[in-house]
Amino acid sequence: MGGAAQQEDVYRIVRAAVESRRPISAIYHNLHRLFCPHRLGRNREGQFRVLCYQYGGESESGLKPAGSPDNWRCIALDKLGSVELLDSGWRTAPNHSRPASCVIDADVDAEHYPVRDPQQGQ
C-alpha cells in the first residue's frame, strides 16, 4: 500500500475512533501505545495532528497515573503505524494540556459526540 493510501486509512480509523469514542492501539516513534483520540485536524502549519489521551503502552517521557493531565499527547498523524480500533473503554482527563497548539482547525472533536453506553448497545 502506498503512502497516501496508508495515510487515508490511518485518518479514517482515527476519525472513527474520535466519533465513536473508542481507543486505538498504534505504533508511534517505534513504541506501542494505547490512547483515546479526542480531536483530529490540522496544526498551524496545516499538518494533520491528533490530540490523544495516552493510557497505556510505552512512552518516551513515561506515563503518569491514570487521569493525569500529563498523559495528553499531540501526535503527528503521518508518524502513526499499525493503527487498530479497540473495543475497550474511553479514557480521558481534565485540562487538555495542548489543545490550542496541537489542533487549531479541527475536523472532528469527541466533545461533539455523545458518550457510548455499552449497556445500551451504543
What is the pTM assigned to this prediction?
A: 0.86
* Segment 49-106, tens digit of pLDDT: 999 999 999 999 899 998 888 899 999 999 999 999 999 999 988 776 555 689 999 9
Domain range list for the chain: 3-120
Distances (CA, A) of 6 to 43, 76, 80, 111, 118: 20, 14, 10, 27, 30
